[in-house]
Structure 1
């Protein structure tokens, strides 16, 4: 709008013909220009967000460069960190895939399992144990070692016992060769509160381990038998992995834990060592992370599932090597 038109607007002098149309056109063009600027900025920021998500996607799908750098030999490192369970990062599928990727890489001179876990599922631990055994059978010259940082207990030790050697820090906690299943009972509380339990089942033991019903001696005995079976499987795996190095005592399979220093004396572990020192002993000081990160779709969407059979599902969740 020029100065003459500004004066007309300010003074109310709108005698010049066509001024209304000109003002409307200018306002319309101003609005269109503003929309264009807004749209450009929107496209710009959407592009930035898209590139960011693309970069995140790439890092999740390809989290590392797996060796093969100038043909230099390396030691592969695979994390066994956190609770070992199907829905956790330390799950059998991820660890096994990591092991297979490391073995396939022609520049891998040895594998280190970075162990820092309190344990978890006996099934997931057994899967990884058997995979390590299979790799050792197929590639006997490829060393596979476990290096313990803070803790390697129960299910984590189940896995570590399959390796060629277990290295610890003197202050590491290691062992806990046992099985646990825990729960709660609220029968007396319900009685005091005047709550009536209404439970309908088909099958004499379908409500086994129901926390709102009184425990039964026969069911407790049955569950103890299952726990004992899993414990014996754990013991057999440890003996098969450690062999003559294990100095068995009445406490060895009792569920106790020891310091790294004490575990070496009893054959639970082999020596003090770090990832760097172990890689040096392998003859490939370069460490390359082969830990599988999982598919992006699983990390974003999670895993959905349905549970049925309250007693059995509770048993499956509560029984663990921890």
Structure 2
């Protein structure tokens, strides 16, 4: 190809490049160098902007997530700290409670000790004016009850030694109790009675039966109300036999003793005739002691009726006819007869508050459980 032909073809190609296409001719807004330049730059700048926008959104989401995590951690930390503080406050409260309890126990013990030392026995301030010296025998007579031999005997001696007392009054309201405790009190009353310094009068309120009447029989005279219950001169032992029940349940009873009769009152073993006869002899001998002491105290005032010692309990009027009491009267009438006025002083040793509380709790628990509140298997006690 010649140079002229080559230049011609080159010119034709350059001119053909300069001729716009049909789309470009129809859209006049796309013509021009500026528009073409902007068109070339727009997609690039749009892509860059879209990428930056997406990147910004991602950065914002990550920051929000981190902030939420931080807030969640702070909330969990606050809850943990709050729980620790609550537990510490609870622990401090319990520590304070136990310290206060310990302090209360110490104070009660100290108060009880001071009470016993300075207030329990005010012997230095015994009244000197004329009066009845009262000693109370209330409730069941046992070693671990308020009506125990040691306490009543102490009250008797204090009342006897009072210069202003014209008479010593046993104020009785008891169904009886332990034979041993009753015998101890009886012996002390008889000892004081033999001294003959002042009369000893037994005043029976609602009931003076069995061991309580044992005590009353040692007095110089016995006074009761018409409706008082008096007597029940007898001895009782009560128990249960469970040998049939234990066989039905299928329980094996294992008892080992040294001495063939050591477990003769075991409620899970049958009571044979020999054991029953022996135990009846014990009851009979104790009953004879009771009868002999009542006769020694009452003397010829007692009726010859065999029913007097049969264990029956009588009203005050019936007891008067049988010689079990000497007079139907009240404590106020006795005081007027002896002093001229209803004046008396109580010489029964006081129980300290702590001991009274524990005794009341023990008695209540025994009553709820249906347990006999006595250590003695035999009882001078009305049923």
Shorter-chain TM-score tier? 0.7 to 0.9
Of 281-290 and 207-216, deviating more is: 281-290
Distance 1:154 1:96 in 2: 19
Would you say how many aligned residue pairs link Structure 1 and Structure 2? 267
Does the alignment pair 1:223 with 2:279?
A: yes
Distance 2:166 2:333 in 1: 14
CA contact (8 A) 1:177 1:252 kept: yes
Distance 1:91 1:71 in 2: 28
| Aligned residue among 136, 140, 149 for 1:83 | 140
Does the alignment pair 1:287 with 2:344?
A: yes
Q: Which has the higher helix share?
A: 2
**How has the CA–CA distance of structure 1 residues 300 and 71 changed in structure 2, closer, same or farther, with 3 Å as cutoff?**
same
Structure showing greater relative contact order (alpha-carbon pairs closer than 8 Å, 6 or more residues apart):
1
Extract unaligned runs of 5+ from structure 2: 1-98, 363-373
Partner of 1:26: none
**How has the CA–CA distance of structure 1 residues 135 and 196 changed in structure 2, closer, same or farther, with 3 Å as cutoff?**
same
Query: Structure 1 stretches (4+) deviating beyond 6 angstroms?
Result: 300-303
Does the alignment pair 1:248 with 2:299?
A: no
**What are the residue-to-residue correspondences of 1:1-322 with 2, within 5 Å?**
50=107, 54=111, 58=115, 62=119, 71-138=128-195, 140-283=196-339, 285=341, 286-294=343-351, 317-322=376-381
Tell me the TM-score normalized by structure 2. Answer: 0.63
Q: What is the CA deviation profile of residues 242-294 of structure 1, one whole-angstrom value per residue up to 9, with x for unaligned ones?
A: 11111121211000000011111110111111111112212263200001125
Tell me the TM-score normalized by structure 1. Answer: 0.75
Distance 1:89 1:239 in 2: 28
Please give the secondary structure, in 2, of the residue aligned with 1:109.
Answer: strand
RMSD of aligned Cα (Å): 3.1
Extract unaligned runs of 5+ from structure 1: 1-41, 304-314
Q: What is the CA deviation profile of residues 206-257 of structure 1, one whole-angstrom value per residue up to 9, with x for unaligned ones?
A: 1110001111211111111111111000000110011111112121100000
**How has the CA–CA distance of structure 1 residues 143 and 68 changed in structure 2, closer, same or farther, with 3 Å as cutoff?**
farther
